[in-house]
Amino acid sequence: MKFKERVFSGMQPTGSLHLGNYLGAMLKWIDLQKTHECIYCVVDLHAITVWQDPAELRQAIRQVTAAYIAAGLDPKKSVLFNQSQVSAHAELAWVFNCVARLGWLNRMTQFKEKAGKDREAASVGLYAYPNLMAADILAYRATHVPVGEDQKQHLELSRDIAQKFNNDFSDAIRSAGYDDGEFFPLPEPVIVGPATRVMSLRDGSRKMSKSEPSDLSRVNLTDDTDLIAKKIRKAKTDPEALPSEIEGLSGRPEAENLVGIYAALSGTAKSDVLSEFGGRQFSEFKPALADLCVERIGPIADETRRLMADPAEIDRVLADGAGRAHNIADPILGEVKDIVGLIRSAS
Ligand code: AMP
Ligand code: TRP
């Protein structure tokens, strides 16, 4: 079956958003609004797979929502809401808990990283997290999922779940009128551009992340302009000048990272950045990068702060988005229940 193109993505409301989130995900979310029907979700149910302070979680849900709007997400055009307001996510996740296999989840590298050494003490939710992620996407039968590189494995699992559901229930799916037996699409990752994996500013071998202890390792979307400039100035580099060709970046992870950030922020490719800056020292490149970063990130921080001054308005936006999300997801969930053999009331 040819599925209607629909974009879905989600972001956890934990910690503050940083340049990696912005370049790896947000920019693409905003871009795709121009061409696609888009559904964007603040995944609060994913956040509680590790303990969150309740008051901080509530604040973080609003903060992420505000940051997205500040960065250019238009909540009138796209559907923007928090996951827990739309019960289809949790309900479909249960069905998928019964479709996905233990062996599949055992391979998930993010679980291994997040659970750490004491795996027995991790929550069951953290383990089943990828099934909920599949439910997020497939509750809308979304076909395209813009994310950073680190989510690739989870998306492959979503595809496996969609495929297994289609196979396990193929007769019921056909009886429901889907002649080719395909109820769910196999969602495609959209992992594109020069900054799908932004690295720490202090160590080019580590991902930029909100859990990294050193604040100098990342540019937060809440940093003021002086702090942004300082972090770029202090970013780790090597002593060589920038190369003129992409090949010259190999084995130079810090240089490659900064060039990738510059390219993504200026909407060009790494090769364009190198044709401009090839042969020049970091002492010249860093101030240019700092200016660009301040110019692009500074206004987002200001606008986020302005929006956060009116939390009731943010809650209203989320409630409106949740209503629209319900309208899409509820009929799909109803069909899933029929296909699986559950009984629901006619209304
Ligand atoms: P998270 O903060 O883990 O909820 O991630 C939200 C989105 O940002 C996901 O699509 C991630 O793939 C993306 N993301 C997180 N960190 C990075 C990074 N360092 N580089 C690129 N994308 C990232
Ligand atoms: N797991 C994603 C992350 O940690 C967040 C997420 C949850 C997501 N559900 C999703 C991303 C659905 C894309 C689609 O970043």
pLDDT digits (tens, 9 = 90+) for 42-53: 999 999 999 999
Start-end of CATH 3.40.50.620 domains in the chain: 6-196+310-340
Place of tokens 């495609």: 188
* Among 290, 288, 284, residue whose Cα is nearest residue 230: 290
Helix (H) or strand (E) run with residue 260 in it = helix 253-266
Position 37: which residue type?
E
Please name the fold of domain 6-196+310-340: Rossmann fold (3.40.50)
9 lines ligand 2 (CB under 6 A): yes
Please provide the DSSP assignment of 142-197 as one string: --EEE--GGGHHHHHHHHHHHHHHHHHTHHHHHHTT-TTS--S--PEEE--STTSS
Task: State the distance from the centre of ligand 2 to the C-alpha of 154, rounded, in angstroms.
Answer: 8
* Among 75, 110, 90, residue whose Cα is nearest residue 318: 75
Mutational test site, ligand 1, from 150, 198, 203, max ligand atoms within 8 Å of CB: 150
Pairing of strands 37-42, 6-11: parallel
Task: State the distance from the centre of ligand 2 to the C-alpha of 43, rounded, in angstroms.
Answer: 7
Distance, in Å, from the CA atom of 35 to the CA atom of 29, rounded to the nearest integer, reads: 11
Whole-model pTM: value is 0.94
* pLDDT reading at 134 higher than 80: yes
Please name the fold of domain 215-306: Tyrosyl-Transfer RNA Synthetase (1.10.240)
Start-end of CATH 1.10.240.10 domains in the chain: 215-306
pLDDT in the model for residue 219: 96
Task: State the distance from the centre of ligand 1 to the C-alpha of 118, rounded, in angstroms.
Answer: 24
Nearest CA to ligand 2 atom 6: 10
pLDDT in the model for residue 1: 66
Q: How confident is the model at residue 346 (pLDDT cuts 50, 70, 90)?
A: confident
C-beta of residue 187 within 8 angstroms of C-beta of residue 144: yes
Distance, in Å, from the CA atom of 80 to the CA atom of 151, rounded to the nearest integer, reads: 20
Catalytic residues: 114, 207, 210
Give the SS3 label for residue 340: helix
The 3-class secondary structure across 81-95, one letter per residue, is EEHHHCCHHHHHHHH
Nearest CA to ligand 2 atom 15: 11
8 lines ligand 2 (CB under 6 A): yes
223 lines ligand 2 (CB under 6 A): no
190 lines ligand 2 (CB under 6 A): no
